[in-house]
Amino acid sequence: MNSTTFRTVNLPATPVQRVRQPADIFEALLQSIQGGESHARPTLELTPDSPFMPFLEIGYALRACMERPARHDYLLQRLRPHLSVMVGTLPASIQPMGMLPKLAPLPSFRQLEEISDDEIHHWLIQEGGLIYGEMQRFELENYFDAVKAYLAPGGIMVDLGSGLGKVVMTAALSFPFTRCIGVELMNYRHRLAQERLVRVLTLTRQGLEALSEPLKPETPLRLPTGITVNGRHLLELGARIVFIENDMFKVDLRGASLVFLYSTCFGPLMDALSNKLARELPEGAVVTTTTYSIRHPAFQLLESHPPGTLSWTSVMIYRRVGPPMSEPAAETRYLHQPDVEAWETRAREELGS
Ligand SMILES: C[S@@+](CC[C@H](N)C(=O)[O-])C[C@H]1O[C@@H](n2cnc3c(N)ncnc32)[C@H](O)[C@@H]1O
């Protein structure tokens, strides 16, 4: 598919009232996994065993400064050295609607003065990566149309930062991957993805029962992407989808054939991510990114779609080339340095409002 044939809007989705054919089941399943971008965001839990405790402590210290005008100068002074890793003007999670609980801080939590620049830097990187968004349905249809040219049937698809699981489940429905795996750091998003999977599998079972002719394992089946597989694709759907709650940097990617990264908020992570992908992925594996490119000799750019074509943002498709790599690429390639004065003006406006 070339850019002139990309879809630009979602087709109106009519709820599936009656299942007559497998295409109706696909439609009902795809409809059931839309809209995750507007899910209610719960605040993080303030419990001693939370893996987010260090994140909460630093977030509380920053928020305490944001809430007191007398501390604004100090807040800006501490944030200023880290603009290269900040998404937006002020961190979203310390805002009134952000991820931090409204509860009082724990007595052991430190003040901002006791928190190092290095800790703030890493906090900001993590904070940016936790921002949530999803591609729309038509964008994912464009995506799988573009990427399928580089994939052989079978293989393992991985979404690093899989959120509510839309891409993983769309992949499992759209292409004959042996397995589709989502890795998500935030517990509640992982849980929502699992709940959505249960709903998808329930709808699949109900849809299969409603068919006038039972779908047999060997019956030819046409996927929404136009690829023909057989009935096992739907009959064994549940066995092909896995959601893992973990940090993407702790998951081994050695067997993956397609890695999807909705990397629009991963700018400061791109160096570490591309080094990891170069170290672990087999030659020939395909990696796709949004907004940020991979600048690493182990990746050959296959396609680059500018904003407003495949998706609202740019989408790049790469192939892993060359022998296994153990050494990280030394230099840092992704830092950007926004205009400090313009940032400070915007930040003061936001703090004042
Ligand atoms: C922009 S959302 C994309 C969700 C999903 N991939 C999609 O496209 O629909 C990015 C997700 O990455 C998750 N994330 C950020 N850092 C992560 C990490 N280190 N390990 C795993 N997930 C992470 C965030 O919590 C968020 O749910």
Mutate-to-test residue for ligand 1 from 39, 167, 248, highest number of ligand atoms within 8 A of CB: 248
Residue 288 maps to a domain: yes
pLDDT at 353: 64
Does the pLDDT at position 309 exceed 90?
Answer: yes
**Last residue of one domain, picked from the residues 89, 113, 131:** 131
Q: Are residues 61 and 145 in the same domain?
A: no
pLDDT at 336: 62
Percent of residues, the chain, with pLDDT higher than 90: 88
pLDDT of 198 strictly over 60: yes
Protein residue closest via CA to atom 13 of ligand 1: 161
Q: Does residue 108 lie within any of the structural domains?
A: yes
Same domain for 101 and 246, yes or no, is no
Asked whether residue 106 is assigned to any structural domain, the reply reads yes
Residue 348 counted as domain residue: no
Q: Which of 86, 116, 131 is the last residue of a domain?
A: 131
Instruction: Identify whether residues 149 and 93 lie together within a single domain.
Output: no
Question: How close is the Cα of 162 to the center of ligand 1, in Å?
Answer: 5
Q: 290 is in which domain, residue-wise?
A: 22-37+133-320
Nearest to 32 by CA among 231, 240, 212, 195: 195
Q: Compute how many other C-beta atoms are within 10 angstroms of the C-beta atom of residue 163.
A: 23
156 and 77 together in one domain: no
Residue 306 is assigned to a structural domain of this protein = yes
> Does a structural domain hold residue 45?
no
| pLDDT band at residue 323 using 50, 70 and 90 as cut-offs | confident
pLDDT for 84: 86
Residues 206 and 306 in one domain: yes
At residue 286, φ and ψ (nearest 5 deg) are -105, 135
Same domain, yes or no: 244 and 264: yes
Residues 159-192 have pLDDT tens digits of 999 999 999 999 999 999 999 999 999 999 999 9
108 and 144 fall within a common domain: no
Examine the pLDDT at 331 and tell me if it is beyond 60.
no
Nearest CA to ligand 1 atom 25: 130
Q: Identify the CA nearest to 329 among candidates 290, 273, 288, 281.
A: 273
Q: Classify residue 285 as exposed, middle or buried by CB count within 10 Å of its CB (0-12, 13-18, 19+).
A: buried
Q: Let me know the angle formed at the C-alpha of 128 by 124 and 132, rounded to the nearest 5 degrees.
A: 155
Average of per-residue pLDDT values in the chain = 93
Q: HEC string of 246-284?
A: CCHHHCCCCCCCEEEECHHHCHHHHHHHHHHHHHHCCCC
The CATH number covering residue 300 comes to 3.40.50.150
Count the domains in the chain.
Answer: 2
Q: Same domain for 112 and 33?
A: no
Percent pLDDT > 70 in the chain is 95
Same domain, 160 and 269: yes
Give the distance from CA 137 to its chain's centroid: 15
pLDDT band at 332 (very low <50, low <70, confident <90, very high): low
Q: Is residue 16 part of a domain?
A: no
* Helix (H/G/I), strand (E/B), else coil: 286: strand
- Same-domain pairing of 238 and 307: yes
pLDDT at 29 over 90: yes
Element (H, E) at 315: strand 315-320
The alpha carbon of residue 22 and the mean position of all alpha carbons in its chain are separated, in whole angstroms, by 29
Q: Are residues 75 and 223 in the same domain?
A: no
Find out whether the beta carbon of 284 lies less than 6 Å from any atom of ligand 1: no
Residues 206 and 251 in one domain: yes
Pocket test for ligand 1, best of 184, 196, 291 (most atoms within 8 A of CB): 184
- 116-141: pLDDT as tens digits: 999 999 999 999 999 999 999 999 99
pLDDT 10s digits, 214-256: 999 999 999 999 999 999 999 999 999 999 999 999 999 999 9
Cα 311 to Cα 11, 40, 304, distances in angstroms: 15, 24, 11
pLDDT at 326 over 90: no
In a domain, 330, yes or no: no
